[in-house]
Structure 1
Amino acid sequence: MNHDIRLVIADDHEIFRDGLALMLSRQPDITLVGQANNGRELLELLETVEADVVMTDLKMPLMDGITATRTLLQRLPHIRIIALSMFDEEELIVEMLEAGAKGYLLKNADKQEIIEAINSVYEDNIFYCKQTSARLASMIVRSRFNPSRDNAPVTFTDREKEIIRLICQQFTAQEIGEKIFLSKRTVEGHRTRILEKMNVKNTAGVVVFALKNNLISEAELL
């Protein structure tokens, strides 16, 4: 990394925005370069400051996060955008991903996940919130959002496919090992390689990738 990740936060809830800004101001390698109260302010701000990553609320006055994302990426396609969402905004999350966001977080995400998301999208990866519901995963799969569309096809061994299905069904490494007669450490090694092949960071990403690429059916998740 040649410089700190330059971050902008857009959210109309000042207390939430200030709290997030304070937390991230103490984080090495991340520099907060600006804050905005709505989508219109966000676009105006980014005419005067350079940013690498934008974290934006979905619902804001004057201009919402989805409209701002579409406009912003037309002007500055290099910027990585993370949507900030509430639990009941699944349809809006899908719209945000279709608009070009690189990931999303629920507003109750912990510090570690927030930092992981920022670093992940900065490196041009997709970040799925760890609390992604099965319903949201299915909605993403049915949407126009397809981050692996332009990538080379990924192949998996039969063993990896077996482990992918078990990961999607929420089994731990220990439980997977007991089911397929492998050590926990061996399963964890397989899991690491699977995440690398899929270019995802967590189980939620595995589920979306697996559904999108027909490695598991929705019925198998129930």
Structure 2
Amino acid sequence: MSKAQGILPLCKRYLTQAGFQNVQITSNEKDALYYEINELKPGLIFIESCFYQSATPFMMGKLLRTMPALRIVAFSIGEFPDELAMGFFFCGVKSYLNFRDEYSEVCSGLQKILHGEEYWMQTVQRRIELQPEIPDYDYDISPRQMEVLRLVCNGFKVIEIGNTLQISKRTVETHKQDLYDLLHVRNEGELIKIAFILDLVQKAELCFYGGA
């Protein structure tokens, strides 16, 4: 189970009361989390929905690409948009619940998960069922998208990125929108913020040669 330090005891109590055995908690993330999973080889891992802020589905997708046999449950302890929660399903997560849901519903969900079944919070399940098709997310960032992301973080405008990479303005805008969708951000400011939160772009890569 993984999340920031403040809620770990609460989450452990929920799972222990539900019948989960040998519950271990960690606040590790990124490479340290991967290492710990490799060491412990858990049968099930719970990750809080805001663990990586808006990019939690993206990071879960990357984790599952590295460890496809891993069974992940996403959970929330507060308000979390159903629209974002659908991303967990599309990246391969097996279940999602919110501890703010009705107590009986949470208990029912935990029991299903405990016995190897999938469980999705009802409002999220309905949204998933209404989707005309499953988005084609591979939960990885292409080399070209990384080039665009790096230039965005250096202050380059769309036309400057196009000139630098010798691609059209429309192609640049397509790459930016794909990054927004992949990382579940709404605009360039949020994209830059999440790029540094996830260490996708390093401070040493900042040159600020973009135009005003």
TM-score with structure 1 setting the length: 0.48
Q: Distance in 1 between matches of 2:46 and 2:26?
A: 10
Output aligned runs, 1:160-171, within 5 Å: none
Aligned length: 133
Among 83, 88, 94, the alignment partner of 1:102 is 94
1:65 offset after TM fit, Å?
Answer: 2.8
Cα pair 2:19 2:114 within 8 Å, conserved: no
**In 2, distance between residues paired with 1:127 and 1:38?**
25
Alignment partner of 1:138 out of 123, 127, 133: 127
Gaps of 5+ in 1: 1-8, 146-222
Supply the AA of the counterpart residue of 2:3: D
Corresponding residue number in structure 2 for 1:35: 26
Task: Please tell me whether the aligned partners of residues 94 and 118 of structure 2 are also in contact (alpha carbons under 8 angstroms).
Answer: yes
1:159-181 C-alpha deviation (Å, 9 max, x unpaired) = xxxxxxxxxxxxxxxxxxxxxxx
* Structure 1: distance between partners of 2:20 and 2:75: 21
Query: Could you report, residue by residue, the CA deviation over 1:71-101 in whole angstroms, capped at 9, with x for unpaired residues?
Result: 2222322222111134342122111110001
| 1:45 aligned residue (36, 53, 74) | 36
Q: 1:79 to 1:61 in 2, by over 3 A?
A: closer
CA distance in 2, matches of 1:64, 1:37: 16
What is the aligned counterpart of 1:60 among 42, 51, 54?
A: 51
Equivalent residue number for residue 207 of structure 2: none
Give the drift of 1:56.
Answer: 0.8
CA distance in 2, matches of 1:40, 1:115: 32
Identity between Structure 1 and Structure 2 (%): 14
Higher relative contact order (CA 8 A, sep 6+): 2
Secondary structure, counterpart of 2:59 in structure 1: helix
Residue segments in structure 2 that go unaligned for 5+ positions in a row:
136-212
Larger helix fraction of residues: 2
1:46 shift after superposition: 0.5
**CA 139–28 in structure 1, closer or farther in 2 if over 3 Å, else same:** closer
Alpha-carbon distance, 1:111 to partner: 6.4
1:89 is the counterpart of 2:81: yes
Query: In structure 1, how many angstroms separate the alpha carbons of the residues matched to 2:36 and 2:28?
Result: 10
The answer on whether the counterparts of 2:12 and 2:23 sit within 8 Å (CA) in structure 1 is yes
Do the aligned partners of 1:38 and 1:62 also contact (CA within 8 Å) in 2? no
Task: Describe the shift of the 1:109–1:36 C-alpha distance in structure 2 as closer, same or farther (beyond 3 A).
Answer: farther
Which structure is larger by alpha-carbon Rg, 1 or 2? 2
The aligned runs of 1:176-195 (5 Å cut-off) are: none
